Structure 1
């Protein structure tokens, strides 16, 4: 058995474990999100726990910080940042994290990220001709990033707009509640986060491969934009690859997905 076969077998075993713990603990993780970030009494957030839990499996032991976007994507550059549309603040990719236990962080999620990094490293040599199983792993990775952003947005407070007037009423609202063009109610937010978490437990992503577009790029800079539960764009220059993925929409033909993706890219990028 080749080293690649052994590595892939190990990854699949860890992904089975990951899917299992997500299915078993979805309810407890969502209860924590609801009681600590969504529930409001007399217009104030009520936190029912003084400790953090792993936002993947729900454990409160050995909590670490999991980077939303892996550090290798932005070459560990601590100065690179993205804008928070809602309040005009910026967050460095290096500080954009969510709480996860050491097992989910260092073993399960890290196994998938290492595999994706190797896939991209070798992809240019193969003209990015990924097979159906590799495409499904890329999709799973991008869905994991979306879920982590959803957790960041529900746990991070609005505070005050940068260079704007302080709004006491909104200061402790989660960013998620104030996302533009969403208009989510608390119930809808919780439902969306629950679905994003459950989505990580789905093994077969074959129906979504036409929603994933992969481009070669000669750009020298890392770029990223993302709309929760809608689409994501990542451009990773060291591997000469750019990705665009629609989280919910499915397409019979990639040409249709490509046309729609380019409309978004030309508008945003």
Structure 2
């Protein structure tokens, strides 16, 4: 299948350029002396080329239904950012050839499966997981590119103004090394072909909600509710479960906490 070729090519590109991409993140976004050593050009976060770069949406436009007003909030400082402006640099080939085809495949899977009378195949579930892991990788890169900024209703410390949000997390003890390790882990997930051992980490809910919902916790989980397809996806990035019921119970608890 063509989608298998696209996924393989993406994995190969990323595998070949893991170190170059990490080095770019460290030099361009982590060092406090960025002005002296920052690379002159952006690089593609999948193949590391500096040519023909485009803006790749971290969350694809079709997911948030092309609404330019929908936004998410960063819990470190309360800053709002619209999905439409949430992008990272990706070359035209990786964007329009590889990622676009992968997203089209996911859109097709969701469109052509009616959960009332059928379910996804094992390979389709693996492709959904692969897609969600690509989103996580993009999100981690985004958090390195976004710096701590003052929100109108929050306290601001001048010293923190150029520190990436990826580092400003209590769960990693504000450690640049731990943030980079998590980024490497996200890269590794994308480069692994088989997702069979992660099958129980994906919980698929049928939903009749009419509004798009989304929340995400770096290196932990993601929740996307897609009213167009009457489906919600909850995926645990770094946790595995003995059975789907365990994952469903844990996902349900987290959803209740977030929305209550």
Q: Where do 1:61-76 residues align within 5 Å?
A: 61-76=51-66
Matched, 1:78 2:68: yes
- 2:6 corresponding residue in structure 1: 14
Q: Is the 8 A contact 1:20 1:201 kept in 2?
A: yes
Work out which of the residue numbers 174, 197, 207 in structure 2 matches 1:217: 207
TM-score by length of 2: 0.95
Shift of 1:16: 1.2
- 1:262 corresponding residue in structure 2: 252
Matched, 1:34 2:23: no
Note the alpha carbon deviations across 1:213-237, whole angstroms, 9 max, x for none.
0011100100000001100000000
Q: CA RMSD in A?
A: 1.5
- Which SS does the other structure have where 2:113 is aligned? helix
- Which SS does the other structure have where 1:124 is aligned? coil
Between stretches 46-55 and 150-159, larger displacement belongs to 46-55
- Which stretches in structure 1 are left out of the alignment for 5+ residues? 1-8
Matched, 1:179 2:135: no
Work out which of the residue numbers 95, 117, 120 in structure 1 matches 2:107: 117
Q: Is the 8 A contact 1:37 1:47 kept in 2?
A: no
Residues 137 and 126 (structure 1), Cα distance of their counterparts in 2 relative to 1, 3 Å cut: farther
Shift of 1:51: 1.4
Q: Is the 8 A contact 2:20 2:48 kept in 1?
A: yes
Residues 22 and 182 (structure 1), Cα distance of their counterparts in 2 relative to 1, 3 Å cut: same
Matches of 2:116 and 2:44, distance apart in 1: 37
Note the alpha carbon deviations across 1:72-123, whole angstroms, 9 max, x for none.
1111010111111111111111111111000111110111100000110112
Residues 162 and 183 (structure 1), Cα distance of their counterparts in 2 relative to 1, 3 Å cut: farther
Work out which of the residue numbers 183, 195, 199 in structure 2 matches 1:193: 183
Between stretches 242-251 and 50-59, larger displacement belongs to 50-59
Matches of 1:126 and 1:59, distance apart in 2: 45
Matched, 1:143 2:124: no
**Number of equivalences:** 259
Between stretches 180-189 and 150-159, larger displacement belongs to 180-189
Matches of 2:35 and 2:177, distance apart in 1: 15
- 2:197 corresponding residue in structure 1: 207
- 1:56 corresponding residue in structure 2: 46
Q: Is the 8 A contact 1:22 1:57 kept in 2?
A: yes
Matched, 1:24 2:16: yes
Matched, 1:159 2:165: no
TM-score by length of 1: 0.92
Note the alpha carbon deviations across 1:37-59, whole angstroms, 9 max, x for none.
11234xx6754212111111111
